[in-house]
């Protein structure tokens, strides 16, 4: 950068005598070194500070008695000389754009967005409870400290992103000889947080104080939390408690399930007896209420683990032994309404017919096997995966952030699946009748794989993954297929009209 | 207009700074710029002119943490020239003020 600057300057100063020119260049050389060494500036910052080589040269030529621009003379020719385009450079830059920029910019942007997004997710799942006294204070400190450091990380990454864009733009403008480079660069640099911080020393001081404070809070909060509640996270000093509730039902009327769970998996299946039976073992860290209401024909299961803020499950995965409950229904009973909200519970429906289905989990995976949905159904999870096998539905919508979505041998005429970081894998959809209407699969960082998916329209979209779609029966024509990815390959082998 | 005014007295300013202490080019620019805001590229030709006129000498001063830097120092002739210029300036200022008055209205 410095080299290019001095070289430009030398070119513009060509009307001067050799030794005069050398002296000026030495001045600027020294200027660079002094500023870098004593003021800690980068070459680029110094260049931004200085006038551009043309103006410097014009000024100096003026001082040395060379008449400025309008008159004829060397100075004029120098400054008005059209710059040569370097076609090798242009070729290289275009190659770079095509090969590197096209994926690097979206990738950087993606990382930034997911960092910011996970901070958002982190904040929204926080729930504070002050019941725990000192523990709440320590835990609160830990969480707030983490959140702030996280925010700084996001901002830091944002600056890197902007810096990269600035570098790109500057390079392009140099190669294509675009004027007014400095204004553009200055404009872009204005978006940098570090620039704002330099301009607002008070704000910067506040930021730095908060940074140190957050680090201290994380340390103190972390130690305090582990000290007061360490056994909750790490220890295994809990046991499983057995539950068993059942009532008889003689008619075949429908039942409903309503559950709000923090811990404990739920399995729902049929058995060959005339009873509704809920049985299983659950961790005694939570008190679980099970109610089988015969008049309303509703099974209600609730438990709440009220550790302060614990619904943010950084530690959730340590709880592998939370236990499970199985709900048995008489064969052929229809589940009229399933409404479940869970934090760590995994859900497993096997062989059931369901009318209305609304399910949401944070960490629990959802398994649907041989389930028939008579109404449009939807499920949502943050970290859980979906495992769908032999499901029949008119319309099914599954959403996850970090989980994988797997669908096998199902009949769903309108399927909508969405994940951010997981893979979508559909193998066998409407295979017998080939009568699907619409499949919509969307991922950001995952691969999408379709095999034997028969629907009139299919939309497969991801950003950082491959797309792969093939059917055994090549005589099946889709009306519309759309596969898009930014950083991956698209391989769609199914024929379309 | 203001640029023209500044340029006229810049030589005197540079000499006065060097009268106080020997220093390097960029520092001279920083001192002047802090007070009256000039462009960097006007300072260097002035320094060179002062050197070729024999008012200023240069020497390399080694630095503890970097390459040696070119320092500027006033010669005896330069010191005398500085005094003359300063007298000229003060006298000139008085004359001008007599004509235009010293308060802005």
Look up tokens 């499920």; give the residue: A379
A411 or A486: which carries more pLDDT confidence?
A411
**How many angstroms separate the CA atoms of A299 and A448, rounded?**
37
Residue A319 has a pLDDT of: 53
A143 or A134: which carries more pLDDT confidence?
A143
The pLDDT of residue A315 is above 60: no
The pLDDT of residue B76 is above 60: yes
pLDDT in tens, A37-80: 888 888 888 888 888 888 888 888 877 776 544 434 444 444 44
Coil/strand/helix, residue A468? strand
The pLDDT of residue A97 is above 70: yes
Q: How many helices (H) and strands (E) does chain A have?
A: 11, 23
Summarize the confidence of residues A433-447 as an average pLDDT.
91
By C-alpha distance, the chain A residue nearest B60 is A30
Residue A90 has a pLDDT of: 86
**How many angstroms separate the CA atoms of A404 and A423, rounded?**
5
Coil/strand/helix, residue A434? coil
Q: Which residues of A touch B39 (CB under 8 A)?
A: 51, 55, 59
Query: Which of B10, B41, B44 to mutate: most A Cβ within 10 Å?
Result: B41
| Inter-chain CB proximity A34 and B24 less than 8 Å | yes
Of A30, A60, A64, the CB nearest to B26: A30
The pLDDT of residue A427 is above 80: yes
Residue B9 in tokens: 């007295």
The ipTM, to two decimals, is: 0.79
The pLDDT of residue A303 is above 80: yes
A228 or A130: which carries more pLDDT confidence?
A228
Q: For residue A122, what are the contacts with CB-CB under 8 A and spacing of at least 6?
A: A146, A147, A150, A312
Coil/strand/helix, residue A354? strand
Q: Which of A266, A262, A270 is nearest to A286 (CA)?
A: A262
- Of the listed ranges A118-127, A450-459, B94-103, the one predicted with least confidence: A118-127
For helices A18-38 and B25-36, angle between their N-to-C axes, nearest 10 degrees:
70
Query: How much is the pTM?
Result: 0.53
Does A34 lie at the interface with B, CB-CB under 8 angstroms? yes
Coil/strand/helix, residue A398? strand
A345 or A301: which carries more pLDDT confidence?
A301
Summarize the confidence of residues A343-359 as an average pLDDT.
92
Banded pLDDT at A320 (limits 50, 70, 90): low
Residue A100 has a pLDDT of: 86
**What proportion of chain A, given as a percentage, has pLDDT over 70?**
89
Coil/strand/helix, residue A213? helix
Q: For residue A478, what are the contacts with CB-CB under 8 A and spacing of at least 6?
A: A455, A456, A457, A458, A494, A495, A496, A497
Summarize the confidence of residues A148-157 as an average pLDDT.
91
- Of the listed ranges A3-17, A63-77, A95-109, A425-439, the one predicted with least confidence: A63-77
Summarize the confidence of residues A391-415 as an average pLDDT.
94
Of B48, B65, B67, the CB nearest to A23: B48
A247 or A124: which carries more pLDDT confidence?
A247
**The residue count for chain A:** 497
Of A33, A38, A60, the CB nearest to B41: A60
Summarize the confidence of residues A157-174 as an average pLDDT.
89
Banded pLDDT at A179 (limits 50, 70, 90): confident
63-92 in A: which are within 8 Å (CB) of B?
63-64
Does A59 lie at the interface with B, CB-CB under 8 angstroms? yes
Does B88 lie at the interface with A, CB-CB under 8 angstroms? no
DSSP codes of every residue in A59-73: HHHHHTT---TTS-S
Of A27, A63, A64, the CB nearest to B25: A27
Mean pLDDT for chain A overall: 84
Banded pLDDT at A171 (limits 50, 70, 90): confident
Domain positions in chain A: 2-79, 87-232
Does B23 lie at the interface with A, CB-CB under 8 angstroms? no
Residue A114 has a pLDDT of: 83
pLDDT in tens, A462-477: 988 899 999 999 899 9
Q: Which residues of A touch B42 (CB under 8 A)?
A: 59, 63
**How many angstroms separate the CA atoms of B69 and B56, rounded?**
16
Residue A317 has a pLDDT of: 44
**The residue count for chain B:** 105
The pLDDT of residue A126 is above 70: no
Of B27, B45, B65, the CB nearest to A63: B45
């Amino acid at each position: 950068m410095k080299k290019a600057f001095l070289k430009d300057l030398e070119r513009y100063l060509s009307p001067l005598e050799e030794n005069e020119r050398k002296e000026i260049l030495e001045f600027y050389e020294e200027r660079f070194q002094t500023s870098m060494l004593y003021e800690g500036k980068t070459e680029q910052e110094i260049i931004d500070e200085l006038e551009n080589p043309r103006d410097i040269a014009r000024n100096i030529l003026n001082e040395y008695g060379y008449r400025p621009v309008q008159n004829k003379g060397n100075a004029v020719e120098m400054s008005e000389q059209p710059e040569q385009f370097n076609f090798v450079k242009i070729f290289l830059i275009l190659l770079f754009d095509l090969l590197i920029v096209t994926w690097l910019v979206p990738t950087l942007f993606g990382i930034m967005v997911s960092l910011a997004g996970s901070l958002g997710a982190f904040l929204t799942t926080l729930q504070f409870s002050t019941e725990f006294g000192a523990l709440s204070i320590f835990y609160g400190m830990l969480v707030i400290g983490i959140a702030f450091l996280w925010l700084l990380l996001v901002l830091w990454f944002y600056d890197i992103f902007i810096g990269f864009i600035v570098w790109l733009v500057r390079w392009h403008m140099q190669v294509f000889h675009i004027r007014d480079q400095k204004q553009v660069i200055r404009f872009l640099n204005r978006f940098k947080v570090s620039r704002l911080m330099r301009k607002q020393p008070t704000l910067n001081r506040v930021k730095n104080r908060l940074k140190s404070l957050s680090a201290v809070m994380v340390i103190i909060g972390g130690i305090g939390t582990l000290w007061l509640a360490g056994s909750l996270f790490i220890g295994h000093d809990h046991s499983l408690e057995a539950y068993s509730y059942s009532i008889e039902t003689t008619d075949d009327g429908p039942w409903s399930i309503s559950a709000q769970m923090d811990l404990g998996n739920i399995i729902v299946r049929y058995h060959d007896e005339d009873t509704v039976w809920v049985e299983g073992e659950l961790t005694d860290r939570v008190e679980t209420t099970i109610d089988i209401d015969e008049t309303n024909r509703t099974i209600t299961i609730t438990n709440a683990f009220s550790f302060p803020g614990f619904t943010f499950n950084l530690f959730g995965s340590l709880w592998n032994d939370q236990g499970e409950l199985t709900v048995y229904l008489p064969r052929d009973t229809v589940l009229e309404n399933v409404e479940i909200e869970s934090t760590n519970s995994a859900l497993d429906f096997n062989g059931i017919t369901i009318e209305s289905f609304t399910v949401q989990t944070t960490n629990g995976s959802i398994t649907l096997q041989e389930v028939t949905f008579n109404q449009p159904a939807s499920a949502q999870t943050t970290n859980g995966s979906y495992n769908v096998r032999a499901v029949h539905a008119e319309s099914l919508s599954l959403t996850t952030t970090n989980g994988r979505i797997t669908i096998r041998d199902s009949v769903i005429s309108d399927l909508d699946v969405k994940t951010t970081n997981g893979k979508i894998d559909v193998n066998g959809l409407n295979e017998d009748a080939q009568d699907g209407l619409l499949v919509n699969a969307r991922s950001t960082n995952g691969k999408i794989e379709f095999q034997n998916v028969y629907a009139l329209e299919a939309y497969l979209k991801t950003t950082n993954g491959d797309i792969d779609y093939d059917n055994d029966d090549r005589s099946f024509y889709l009306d519309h297929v759309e596969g898009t990815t930014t950083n991956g390959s698209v391989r769609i082998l199914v024929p379309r009209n | 207009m203001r640029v023209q005014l500044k340029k006229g007295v810049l030589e005197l300013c540079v000499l006065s700074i060097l009268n106080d202490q020997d220093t390097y080019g960029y520092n001279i620019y920083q001192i002047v710029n802090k007070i009256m805001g000039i462009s960097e590229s006007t300072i260097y030709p002035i320094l060179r002119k002062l050197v070729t006129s024999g008012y200023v000498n240069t020497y390399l001063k080694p630095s503890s943490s970097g390459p040696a830097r070119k320092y500027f120092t006033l010669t005896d002739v330069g010191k005398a020239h500085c005094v003359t210029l300063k007298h000229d300036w003060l006298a000139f200022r008085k004359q001008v003020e007599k004509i235009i008055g010293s308060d802005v209205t």
